[in-house]
Amino acid sequence: MKKRTIALLLLAALLGGTLTGCSEKAKEYYSPGYWRDTTFYSAFVDLRFTLPEGWTAASQEELDTMSAEADKLLDMQRGGAGTDPASIYHYELSARDPETGNGVLILVQNYGGTATDYIDGLEAGAELEEATYSVGSVTTVQLAGHPYLMVPLTMEGEEAPYQRQYLRKYEDYLIYLMMFSTQEDKAAFTELESHFSDMENPS
């Protein structure tokens, strides 16, 4: 799931024409979230996530590795050597249910375009002959106190092939909330959404 997610992000950014570097303002402004017991807090993304019973979460070391891998691949995609890439991707949270394969991921990316630009890239990628995913209809939803553009994806060959990406732009960043499920129906994603709440007003 992690490697496919990174590849999909890079493809969408490339096709959307919005690959960008990290500005000084952006580097100073971003701040990561943190865990307290079984609740993850992110003031930057402005939400909290309560880890369901039986789920496991990636360590900070694992998240840092995912961020570094994405930064390296982006640098190489832009013609660099990948040895000293700019810090573009910030993996905040990755958690999953080992029993079902369902999971969630939070990513913050320094991004020069809009959420719509990113979605345009996703849709363009889905039209390629070698595409291994399809894109559904985009809607606007409220989640943890903010409006997000939500785009459903179906990923071929994945343990949890049904994915929803919730996207919103904040300052110089694109915020991604990704949810993965073995079930396509709305109830499955309503359950995943229920573990997210507003920083100030937890559900």
- d(CA 15, CA 126) in angstroms, rounded, equals 11
- Residue type for 102, please? N
Predicted confidence pLDDT, tens digits, the chain (203 residues): 555 565 555 556 555 555 555 445 444 478 999 999 999 999 999 999 999 999 999 999 999 999 999 999 888 988 899 999 999 999 999 999 999 999 999 999 999 899 999 999 899 888 988 889 999 999 999 999 999 999 999 999 989 999 999 999 999 899 999 999 999 999 999 999 999 999 876 65
Domains present along the chain, CATH in parentheses: 2-197 (3.40.1000.10)
CB 44 within 8 A of CB 26: no
CA-based nearest residue to 18, from 201, 165, 202, 172: 172
Q: Indicate the pTM of the whole model.
A: 0.89
- d(CA 169, CA 182) in angstroms, rounded, equals 28
Q: Which residues, other chains included, contact 95 with Cβ-Cβ below 8 Å and sequence gap of 6+?
A: 40, 49, 51, 55, 56, 57, 58, 103, 104, 105
Q: Tokens 């995943």 belong to which residue?
A: 192
